[in-house]
Amino acid sequence: MNDIEIGKSFEFSNTFTNDDVFAFAEITKDDNPIHINDSYASNSIFGKRVVHGILVISMFSKIFGTIYPGNGGIYLSQTAKFLMPVFINEEILAKVTLRNFDYSKNRGTFITECFNSKGDLVLTGEAKILFPQQIKMK
Amino acid sequence: MNDIEIGKSFEFSNTFTNDDVFAFAEITKDDNPIHINDSYASNSIFGKRVVHGILVISMFSKIFGTIYPGNGGIYLSQTAKFLMPVFINEEILAKVTLRNFDYSKNRGTFITECFNSKGDLVLTGEAKILFPQQIKMK
């Protein structure tokens, strides 16, 4: 279990593969051709298939649920602006930064960002997490 | 292709199965035990395993990308407040309602909501979509 330190960041990198995108399309029934159809996507504004934006957001859930604050936290909210497309097999870095913490409510607010391998900010937003009871104050 | 009509809603129902949750945990590496470990979840505040919140949000992406406005739209942003847990094998209704449309920017703002089979609002938020060029004005 981690301490609470305003300004501290936690990161996770992931590369969504072709199989990941097809599996996600099957689970969610989101078979928009921009994600799964090469010829459609090649004629689109993006020029090739893109990863579902929601799949990119999932990287924050991974961090909050398994890294910090970790098991026992409760996801209260998430916002996301999709700034740039994320392509298949592109390594993405997700970064969450604790912006403030409400001790009376045991809630943390995080800035949530994703960057591609060129360092471009592809997604930005904010999340609120109800922290597990065991978190120690610093 | 659909017309633009403020206040009009579009819906999609889905039931996330145990297989869906495990597949999503594998794709995203979000293996928080609240989603995949029965004994852990039975001792949690929820009493049993819950579906990843991000997987529930995906229902809006399905609607926007394949139902309305459909192929060619671009997801600009999504916000979500997680109000209640969604359990495995629970039928969820996602509903998006066009709240306003900016003709100069060709952008629609939607209220986005999910309800469980009891009619409880489990998730609420807002999305902005850049509409496909072909959308006709009403």
Tokens 């991974």 — which residue?
A: A62
Q: Which of B11, B20, B32, B121 to mutate to test the interface with A (most CBs of A within 10 A)?
A: B32
| Per-residue pLDDT, A56 | 97
Average per-residue pLDDT for chain B? 93
Q: For residue A133, what pLDDT is reported?
A: 79
**Residue B2 scores a pLDDT above 90:** no
Alpha-carbon distance A97 to A74, whole Å? Answer: 17
Q: Which two tokens stand for residue A102?
A: 């409400």
Q: What is the mean pLDDT of residues B41-59?
A: 95
Q: Is the CB of A82 inside 8 Å of chain B's CB atoms? A: yes
Q: Which CATH class is domain B9-16+55-130?
A: alpha beta
- Name the CATH architecture for the domain at A9-130: Roll (3.10)
Residue B134 has pLDDT above 90, yes or no: no
**Running along chain A, 138 residues long, what does each successive block of 10 average in pLDDT?**
86 97 95 94 94 97 95 94 97 98 96 97 98 65
CB contacts, 8 Å: B31 with chain A: 66
Domain parsing of chain A, residue ranges: 9-130
Q: In whole angstroms, what is the distance from residue A39 CA to residue A63 CA?
A: 35
- The string of pLDDT tens digits covering residues B60-77 is 999 999 999 998 889 999
- The answer to whether B127 and B113 are in contact (CB under 8 A) is no
Span B96-124, mean pLDDT? 97
Nearest CA in chain A to B61: A30
**ipTM of the complex in this document:** 0.93
- Provide the pLDDT for residue B68: 95
Q: Residue holding tokens 């009376």?
A: A104
pLDDT score of A138: 46
